[in-house]
A and B are shown apart, each in its own frame.
Chain A
Amino acid sequence: MNYTKEIQDIAAKLFAEGKIDVFVGYRVNGFDDNQVPVLITDPQDVSKLVFTDKSVFNLVNYLKNDHTRRKRVGLVVKGCDSRSLNLMLTESQVKRENLYVVGICCEGVVDEAGQKMQNCTDCMVPDAVVSDELLGTPSGSDTLSGSYKMNADIAMLAEKPLTERAAYFEEVFENCIRCNACRHSCPLCYCAKCCIDQETATLYNGANTTSGAFHALMTWSLHLAGRCVDCRNCEKACPSHLPLHLLHKQNESVIYENFQEHLAGVVTGDRGAFYKYSLKDPDDFIM
């Protein structure tokens, strides 16, 4: 998977036609062959752009940045990224007319060790669902490809009794340093002020302790339930290497099972299972 040339051409053309103010893409980081996001504002820098299977980050996150807000933006999205973009559009955070979206029919990206990422092996939506221009060969199916795969580690966790599960997460959250990189790296954490940080917040424990981390991360995972697209930006950003996807994937699998095979961000205008009411919703928990 290498669309470096195509993307450079598209960006150059968009700048030449005056259609965009900034292009969000990837460049090689300069130390090794891993890549970092780059915001191009000068057409001469277009040659810095690359796109290979090392283009791991979700660039939609940069749409909540002041450098892109209220500007015309060109941007590259893979399947998972495009779903988060879909949610940003649905939740009125960006205007579609301000965007030029280069969609990728993604074949999966690799981690720093060159291994295909786990979310890519389980991916059901490899093609970008929002795009002005699609690169690569679509996977063929109009809707979802393949059946829902339950991660092995989620299945393992689900089997554990509640107390053991709590103990497991307590151990995980002990390493959290409350730097909030997960929150900043998540495209869907765009709130003007996070509920955890509010001065008047009486509901939330903001302490830099295990229980504070537990509180914050659990709240975070619930606020992303039915919205998380499993792009794993948060895991890539976490300096403590916490397995944050476990929180989200657990929610995702429960929601997929109970809410008519709902997957976040596949349909524009779909706010997610927790934000709409349907007569088909399960109600067996009501006495």
Chain B
Amino acid sequence: MARVGVFVCFCGANIADYVDVPQVVEEVKRIKEVKFATEYKYMCSDPGQGMIRDAIIQYKLTSIVVAACSPRMHEKTFRKALSDAGMNPYLLEVANIREHSSWVHQKDKKAATNKAMDLCRMAVAKSIANEQLHEISVPVTKRALVIGGGIAGIQAALDIADARIPVVLVERSPSIGGKMAQLDETFPTLDCAQCILTPKMVDVASHPYIELIPYSEVIELQGFVGNYKVKIKKKASYVNFKTCTGCGACWQKCPVKVANEYNMGIDKRKAIYTPFPQAVPNKPVIDAEHCTMLLKGKCGICAKVCDKGSIDYTMQDEIIEREIGAVVVATGYDMWDPTPYEEYGVGRFKDIITSLEFERMVSANGPTNGVPVRPSDGKVPKNVVFIKCVGSRDEAKGIEYCSKICCMYTTKHTILLHHKVHDSHAYVFYMDIRAAGKGYEEFVKKAQVDTGTTYLRGRVSKIYKKGDKLMVRGEDAQIGQVVEVEADLVVLATAVSAPKDNPNLARLLGISYDKYGYLSEAHPKLRPVETAKAGIFLAGCTQAPKDIPETVSQASACAAKVCGLFAGDTMKKDPMVSSINNEYCSGCQNCLNACPYGAIVTEDVAIGHGSKDLRTVAKINEGVCQGCGSCVAICRSTAITLAGFTDSQIINEIVSI
């Protein structure tokens, strides 16, 4: 006969305000298997856990029900309390009367109480059929995968590798560096981005514990925390990196000119190219979409001029497989496309540019050698209007959120403009100035004084052309009047948006993403680095817009998480895994297809005692199984059982209400 103990938590006022806890206790006491039931203000606290430990011994309890918050929150805490009292920890059931009852039924205390009683009855019924289970140990592959070679990926890779853990760093483009490599100077100290970034890029390339795989993409991830298998597609570069010295003869002679992505299309690059002179690895690749040799079979100049014979037009994409234990996702961000702002004349007027285009122009290694010019006639602009929140904080045309970095980089742009064109004047249309960060407010204040920039609080309603100037019409809300500013150049501080490929990547990795396409963290406050899938971590703007200091902090946090994960040789794993009844298994292999973790294989078993005739049945790899139950649901012959969620446990739950 089962002897169940029930412990109902007030959770301070979280549960008690909306659920009549004493009534719940009285109700569960009427169940004949319940030998002890009580309530407490904070069941998770030390006195609360003490009550559980004492009752287990005093009342000889055989299973425990804790009615409190979500098991995601405190299941582990209470399991430990059971262990401490000498009881198998998996004899615990948690009834979630907080998230599932008090929080969602705050307007109706009676209904919330009734639901809490139902949830407790179900948990008691299920716990009666609970069985003793034991933790599983699985080995760990101590190698980390970092996806994305921007500053986030670089920092995470370096920190993990410095702990002598091998890292595989996968970057989609031919060079690491990411968006930061495109920046000129960085707020609030105006360090040159190249000067602080490129040494780190070199460190990545030369680090003995980092394997850098550029020009590649992750195409498949299988397995589970500690034991992932990743497939990486290495795109054909058509250049043998082993023999190439990076001399540059090929791209100097290449006759094909293509818009240069690194310079935001302001100038041209060749079809065989390195993205920028400081690229790592500093080896060229051939852009197969534009190379005439690859498209039409004519040209071949680069192969002729290459002394080393490094050009190989027959090179194919290659699939690389690696075994890894953890993943850091650092895919960065995209700049939001301002096309929806038709009233600004985006696309019609050449002298409206985005902030990253401006950044490239004022950059010392940029296409105009650090001098901003008007794209229409190449003249140096005198009056420059900066418009903030283009796309950000705009529910109608853009995105609801604040992109966080635009206030600061626009301030930086006014300074850079002032440095490069001394007799220029900047106007900034803004909604608010958000300068929360160490040294940020001081930076903004100083810039305003030093540059003499005119700040106009209000949205721009229209931009139109007058002669060769642009007329920017907007509201100055502080004087309550419409103002018009004559501009030589207009710079749009476009929003930060999630990488377009993030949803695909999220599906490939089996993690979740939000409505904007940013990857979701496990908990916004207490687990901001982890995803809901164990062993996958997030760094940088792929989770939400961030500036460089925050990105670097999060990347280092990821590294700490990875090092913690790899601290032991094996990992403990919950025993809620599936098992197959060979007698009932018909070998249809539907479960193999249903399993999202690749945890099921087939094996041949003898039909009867001593029989040499074999039958094919399914077999579960306990280490890989995550206990999701998909196989149980899909099995027609009910040959699969999930420990901790057996048919009899579930049926008990259903018939109890």
Q: Does B240 contact A (CB under 8 A)?
A: no
**Cross-chain contact A192 with B585 (CB below 8 angstroms):** yes
From B85-93, B307-315, B515-523, B633-641, give the one contacting chain A.
Answer: B633-641
> Taking A92-B616, A192-B583, A276-B593 as contacts, is the C-beta distance between A198 and B638 under 8 angstroms?
yes
Q: Does B584 contact A (CB under 8 A)?
A: yes
Give A195 to B639 CA distance when docked, in angstroms: 8
Q: Mark B282-314, 1 if CB is under 8 A from A, else 0.
A: 000000000000000000000000000000000
Q: Does A70 contact B (CB under 8 A)?
A: yes
Q: Mark B625-657, 1 if CB is under 8 A from A, else 0.
A: 000000000101111000000011001000000
Q: Which residues of B contact A91 (CB under 8 A)?
A: 588-590
> Taking A202-B648, A203-B647, A203-B651 as contacts, is the C-beta distance between A92 and B587 under 8 angstroms?
yes
Q: Does A5 contact B (CB under 8 A)?
A: no
Q: Mark A92-127, 1 if CB is under 8 A from B, else 0.
A: 110000000000000000000000000000000000
**Cross-chain contact B613 with A275 (CB below 8 angstroms):** no
**Cross-chain contact B636 with A275 (CB below 8 angstroms):** no
**Cross-chain contact B590 with A271 (CB below 8 angstroms):** yes
- How many Å from the CB of B588 to the closest CB on chain A? 4
Q: Which residues of A contact B583 (CB under 8 A)?
A: 192-193
Q: Does B594 contact A (CB under 8 A)?
A: yes
- How many Å from the CB of A241 to the closest CB on chain B? 26
Determine which residue in A70, A91, A193, A223 has the highest number of CB atoms from chain B within 10 A of its CB, and name it: A193
Q: Which residues of A contact B616 (CB under 8 A)?
A: 92
**Cross-chain contact B613 with A70 (CB below 8 angstroms):** yes
Q: Mark B578-596, 1 if CB is under 8 A from A, else 0.
A: 0000011111111001100
Give A93 to B636 CA distance when docked, in angstroms: 14
Q: Which residue of B lies closest to A220 (CB)?
A: B636
Give A72 to B69 CA distance when docked, in angstroms: 60
Give A191 to B588 CA distance when docked, in angstroms: 9
Give A202 to B587 CA distance when docked, in angstroms: 22
Q: Bin chain A's interface residue count.
A: 20 to 34
Looking at chain B's contact residues, the main secondary structure is loop
Q: Which residue of A lies closest to B602 (CB)?
A: A92
**Cross-chain contact B593 with A271 (CB below 8 angstroms):** yes
Q: Which residue of B lies closest to A70 (CB)?
A: B613
Q: Which residues of B contact A70 (CB under 8 A)?
A: 613
Determine which residue in B589, B593, B637, B651 has the highest number of CB atoms from chain A within 10 A of its CB, and name it: B637
Q: Which residues of A contact B647 (CB under 8 A)?
A: 200-203
Q: Mark B610-626, 1 if CB is under 8 A from A, else 0.
A: 00010010000000000
**Cross-chain contact B638 with A192 (CB below 8 angstroms):** no
In the complex, the number of residue pairs spanning A and B with C-beta atoms less than 8 Å apart equals 50
Which single member of B584, B594, B637, B638 contacts A275 (CB below 8 Å)?
Answer: B594
Q: Which residue of B lies closest to A200 (CB)?
A: B647
- How many Å from the CB of A110 to the closest CB on chain B? 33
In A179-221, the 8 Å CB interface with B consists of 190-195, 198, 200-203
Q: Which residue of B lies closest to A201 (CB)?
A: B638
> Taking A202-B651, A223-B636 as contacts, is the C-beta distance between A190 and B613 under 8 angstroms?
no
**Cross-chain contact B584 with A198 (CB below 8 angstroms):** yes
Give A191 to B640 CA distance when docked, in angstroms: 13
Give A100 to B352 CA distance when docked, in angstroms: 72
Give A190 to B584 CA distance when docked, in angstroms: 11
**Cross-chain contact A190 with B638 (CB below 8 angstroms):** no
Looking at chain A's contact residues, the main secondary structure is loop
> Taking A195-B638, A275-B634 as contacts, is the C-beta distance between A92 and B584 under 8 angstroms?
no
Q: Which residue of B lies closest to A190 (CB)?
A: B586
Q: Which residues of B contact A274 (CB under 8 A)?
A: 634
**Cross-chain contact A93 with B638 (CB below 8 angstroms):** no
> Taking A192-B583, A192-B637, A194-B637 as contacts, is the C-beta distance between A275 and B590 under 8 angstroms?
yes
Q: Which residue of A lies closest to B594 (CB)?
A: A275
Q: Which residue of A lies closest to B635 (CB)?
A: A195
Q: Which residues of A contact B634 (CB under 8 A)?
A: 274-275
Q: Which residues of B contact A275 (CB under 8 A)?
A: 590, 593-594, 634
Determine which residue in A195, A201, A223 has the highest number of CB atoms from chain B within 10 A of its CB, and name it: A195
Q: Which residues of B contact A202 (CB under 8 A)?
A: 647-648, 651
Q: Mark A157-170, 1 if CB is under 8 A from B, else 0.
A: 00000000000000
Q: Which residues of B contact A192 (CB under 8 A)?
A: 583-586, 637, 639
> Taking A92-B588, A93-B588 as contacts, is the C-beta distance between A195 and B594 under 8 angstroms?
no
Q: Which residue of B lies closest to A276 (CB)?
A: B593
**Cross-chain contact B587 with A93 (CB below 8 angstroms):** yes
Which single member of B588, B589, B637 contacts A193 (CB below 8 Å)?
Answer: B637
**Cross-chain contact B637 with A191 (CB below 8 angstroms):** yes
Give A193 to B637 CA distance when docked, in angstroms: 7
Q: Which residues of B contact A93 (CB under 8 A)?
A: 586-588
Q: Mark A68-100, 1 if CB is under 8 A from B, else 0.
A: 001000000000000000000001110000000
Q: Which residues of B contact A203 (CB under 8 A)?
A: 638, 647, 651
- How many Å from the CB of A142 to the closest CB on chain B? 27
Q: Which residue of A lies closest to B634 (CB)?
A: A275
Q: Which residue of A lies closest to B596 (CB)?
A: A277
- How many Å from the CB of B633 to the closest CB on chain A? 10
**Cross-chain contact B638 with A92 (CB below 8 angstroms):** no
Q: Which residues of A contact B585 (CB under 8 A)?
A: 192
Give A195 to B638 CA distance when docked, in angstroms: 6
Give A48 to B648 CA distance when docked, in angstroms: 52
Determine which residue in A92, A192, A193, A201 has the highest number of CB atoms from chain B within 10 A of its CB, and name it: A192
In A235-287, the 8 Å CB interface with B consists of 271, 274-276
In B79-109, the 8 Å CB interface with A consists of none
Determine which residue in B588, B589, B590, B648 has the highest number of CB atoms from chain A within 10 A of its CB, and name it: B588
- How many Å from the CB of A36 to the closest CB on chain B? 27
In B539-586, the 8 Å CB interface with A consists of 583-586
- How many Å from the CB of B451 to the closest CB on chain A? 51
Give A191 to B638 CA distance when docked, in angstroms: 10
Determine which residue in A70, A190, A191 has the highest number of CB atoms from chain B within 10 A of its CB, and name it: A191
Q: Which residue of A lies closest to B614 (CB)?
A: A70
Give A201 to B584 CA distance when docked, in angstroms: 12
**Cross-chain contact A195 with B588 (CB below 8 angstroms):** no
Q: Which residues of A contact B588 (CB under 8 A)?
A: 91-93, 190
Give A185 to B584 CA distance when docked, in angstroms: 20
Determine which residue in B634, B636, B639, B647 has the highest number of CB atoms from chain A within 10 A of its CB, and name it: B636
- How many Å from the CB of B108 to the closest CB on chain A? 20
Give A202 to B636 CA distance when docked, in angstroms: 14
Q: Which residue of A lies closest to B507 (CB)?
A: A279
Give A50 to B88 CA distance when docked, in angstroms: 67
Q: Which residues of A contact B589 (CB under 8 A)?
A: 91-92
Give A56 to B648 CA distance when docked, in angstroms: 43
Give A79 to B613 CA distance when docked, in angstroms: 33
> Taking A202-B647, A203-B638, A203-B651 as contacts, is the C-beta distance between A191 and B594 under 8 angstroms?
no
Give A223 to B613 CA distance when docked, in angstroms: 28
Give A275 to B586 CA distance when docked, in angstroms: 16
Q: Which residues of B contact A194 (CB under 8 A)?
A: 637
Q: Mark B206-227, 1 if CB is under 8 A from A, else 0.
A: 0000000000000000000000
- How many Å from the CB of A278 to the closest CB on chain B? 12
Give A151 to B526 CA distance when docked, in angstroms: 58
Q: Which residues of B contact A200 (CB under 8 A)?
A: 647
Q: Which residues of A contact B639 (CB under 8 A)?
A: 192
Q: Which 3 A-B pairs have the closest CB atoms?
A: A191-B637, A91-B588, A195-B638
- 15 residue pairs A–B, Cβ–Cβ below 8 Å: A91-B588, A92-B588, A93-B586, A93-B587, A93-B588, A190-B588, A191-B586, A191-B636, A195-B636, A200-B647, A202-B647, A203-B647, A223-B636, A271-B590, A275-B634
* 14 further A-B pairs in the complex, CB-CB below 8 A; given A93-B588, A191-B584, A191-B586: A91-B590, A92-B616, A93-B586, A191-B637, A192-B584, A192-B586, A193-B637, A195-B637, A198-B638, A200-B647, A201-B638, A201-B647, A271-B590, A275-B593
